[in-house]
Amino acid sequence: MNIPSRIEHLRAEMAHHNITAYLVPSSDPHQSEYVAPRWQTRAWLSGFTGSAGTLVVTAETAGVWTDSRYFIQGEEQLAGSGITLERQQVPHAPEHVDWLVENLRAGQQLGFDGRVVSLSQARMLEQRLSAKGIQLNAKYDLAANFWADRPAIPSSEVYAFNPVYAGQSRAEKLSNIRAWLTKVEVDAVLLVALDEIAWTLNIRAADVDFNPVCLSYLLVTKNDAQWFVGKARIDQKLSAALKEDGVEVADYSKVELALQNFPASRQLAVDPATLSYRFFELLAGKDLKELGSPVVMMKAIKNETEIQHFRNVMCKDGVALLRLFRWLEKTLKTTTVTEVEISERLADFRSHQVLYKGESFPAIVGYNGNGAIVHYHAEPATCARLTASGILLLDSGGQYLDGTTDITRTVALGNTTMEQRRHFTLVLKGMIALSKARFPKGTGGAQLDTFARQFLWQEGLDYGHGTGHGVGFFLNVHEGPQGFATSAVTSRGHTALLPGMVTSNEPGFYRTGHYGIRTENLMLCVEDRSTDYGNFLRFETLTLFPIDRRLLQLDMLSEEERKWLNDYHQQVLAGILPLLKEDEERTWLRQQCQPV
């Protein structure tokens, strides 16, 4: 069944249920960013595989709304499908809702699957559409009626995550959540987000590619907890440990019954950002208190054990990258290499590092013009072949038991042009400025984002993505609530940075059809000093790998910026050299870290 046929089947189902427009988001019942194949409905219906996008279908039209990271990809994947690419001006903005308001009439219905749309999203739709007399219908997962080979709900092995790495026991984390219950005066909290549950229970799994989580729900009361995951997935040892900590294991499918039976006399805390509209309907008549999940901030502020592991994991991840780039340099002297082969080689080099569990996201390997596609994914049949010329952008990361990495390096494979060096240096100047920022407590990501863009802005240049995101600890590589973004509309923009948060710093520049540039390090927010004007914070750079000096336009760097770069390369040497046993590797690293 091709894409046009799938859309026609969807329209037939819409007509059967008297639905005028049908909305398909990118999420699953847990509002995950990366979703298991079971819930990749938008991708299956449209053919557009970007991680962010919303499909809206009517009897006459179909469109996918997505942001500038995916414009090129969207054009390619939607070509010939009958589905139009709708270019969002602001990432994550609900611009499809404006279209619905303009194009639907009173008495018509907007349909969607209430299991994969959050309460807050449904309310926003209701608020905008009800004013025009447009009704919502959240009853149907229409694709289920004709998606014959739909993947099953995943059920990978669930295993305990050792407190040696986590820094806190399961009992301690549950105790902290219960202290929060007392503080906010509620009887229980329902956790829906998969990484929040994995963090709380010190468990990991592989239900979602690149994210070590499992499909489940967690209901925590002041005295006990119910984990809806499935007894068959838990081995005897973990089952006993959970029981000792007061956690009862139930089947994943039993959560709806548990919510229906939740006592009306007790108050339940729910997070409207993750609670599905379907669950909200099930909880009708219950005493609900809508609050942000307490685990979001608990998880975002890393403890001392996690922080030390983060520092260590960057060293061995740097070793893997060193071996990848040495192999690439040697190979390109005699032959060409594909983008896919680079991705495979890097995963292999990482796999030889201790405690490695897999990639933290699909590596972005963009050669020359492909590097300008922000979330480019190389495919074996169509990917580019590298020669000893041009520019390579490599954005990759690893999942280790002792941490999660995310690093981007842009490297020259041959001679560089003045324009390439100028753009690379403008990006680096912004990355350095954000790395060196000192700021008072209470400062949000939207304020700090300007540090990274200022030099590009001075040249009338910019990039269409956020400058940084939070990073989990052997969890999701994209983690809330903090980050660097131009708009304070998103939570990433207005959340204040706090000591213990780990955030990426990744400004870029993209010349469509020619090259992409991005330089990314992970940074830890730490205390700086107290003055008469308040308590100030700064960043400690965690990522350790050389920045390509061949792409620098040195006369554009100030003395202070040169000092930062030289000091950083000394940190790289101090972290990685002790792990290298071969003289050739040590020599290569010293050459890459020579002062400028």
CA 7 vs. chain centroid, Å, equals 29
Measured distance CA(235)–CA(399) in Å, rounded: 23
Per the model's pLDDT, the better-predicted residue between 72 and 299 turns out to be: 299
Mean pLDDT of 423-434: 98
Residue 51 is predicted with a pLDDT of 83
Spell out the domain ranges in the chain. Answer: 3-145, 159-298, 301-592
State which fold the 301-592 domain adopts: Creatine Amidinohydrolase (3.90.230)
Measured distance CA(377)–CA(305) in Å, rounded: 34
Residue 487 is predicted with a pLDDT of 67
Residue 91 is predicted with a pLDDT of 62
Residue 92 binned pLDDT confidence (cut-offs 50, 70, 90): low
Residue 593 binned pLDDT confidence (cut-offs 50, 70, 90): very high
* Overall residue count recorded for the chain in this entry: 596
User: How many Cβ atoms are within 10 Å of 281's Cβ, its own excluded?
Assistant: 13
Please say whether the dihedral angle defined by the alpha carbons of residues 555, 558, 559 and 564, taken in this order, is positive or negative: negative
Is it true that 3-145 and 159-298 share their CATH fold? Answer: yes
The SS3 assignment for 576 reads: helix
Give residue 216's identity as a one-letter amino acid code.
Answer: S
List, in sequence order, every residue forming a beta bridge with 527; answer none if it has no partner.
537
CA 19 vs. chain centroid, Å, equals 33
pLDDT tens, 365-391?
999 999 998 888 898 999 999 999 999
The contacts of residue 561 (CB under 8 Å, 6+ apart) are 428, 429, 432
Residue 71 is predicted with a pLDDT of 87
- Provide the whole-model pTM: 0.94
Please say whether the dihedral angle defined by the alpha carbons of residues 384, 385, 387 and 392, taken in this order, is positive or negative: positive
Residue 312, pLDDT > 60, answer yes
The SS3 assignment for 529 reads: strand
Mean pLDDT of 52-81: 92
Residue 488 is predicted with a pLDDT of 44
Residue 491 is predicted with a pLDDT of 62
- Kindly report the three-state secondary structure assignment for every residue of 106-140: CCCEEECCCCCCEHHHHHHHHHHHHCCCCEEECCC
Residue 66 is predicted with a pLDDT of 93
N-to-C CA span, the chain: 58
Q: Are the beta carbons of 215 and 198 closer than 8 angstroms?
A: no
Residue 118 binned pLDDT confidence (cut-offs 50, 70, 90): very high
Residue 515 binned pLDDT confidence (cut-offs 50, 70, 90): very high
Mean pLDDT of 37-61: 95
pLDDT tens, 479-504?
989 999 886 445 667 899 999 999 99
How many helices (H) and strands (E) are present in the chain, helices listed first?
19, 30
Residue 298, pLDDT > 80, answer yes
Please give the C-alpha separations between residue 487 and each of 92, 272, 453, in angstroms, as whole numbers: 11, 22, 13
Measured distance CA(574)–CA(314) in Å, rounded: 12
Mean pLDDT of 572-594: 97
Residue 52 binned pLDDT confidence (cut-offs 50, 70, 90): confident
Residue 88 binned pLDDT confidence (cut-offs 50, 70, 90): confident
The SS3 assignment for 21 reads: strand
Structure tokens at 466: 């956020």
Residue 90 binned pLDDT confidence (cut-offs 50, 70, 90): low
Class of domain 159-298: alpha beta
- CA–CA–CA angle 275, 36, 341 (5° rounding): 140
Mean pLDDT of the chain: 95
**Helix or strand holding residue 99 (H, E):** helix 95-103
State which fold the 3-145 domain adopts: Creatine Amidinohydrolase; Chain A, domain 1 (3.40.350)
Residue 314 binned pLDDT confidence (cut-offs 50, 70, 90): very high
Structure tokens at 75: 């054009």
Residue 106, pLDDT > 50, answer yes
Q: Judging by beta carbons within 10 Å of its beta carbon (0-12, 13-18, 19+), is residue 222 exposed, middle or buried?
A: middle
47-61, 82-96, 197-211, 530-544: which range is least confident on average?
A: 82-96
- Crossing angle for the helix pair 119-130 and 95-103, nearest 10 degrees? 30
Is cis: bond before 481, omega within 30 of 0? yes
Structure tokens at 243: 């029981």
pLDDT tens, 153-196?
999 999 999 999 999 999 999 999 999 999 999 999 999 999 99
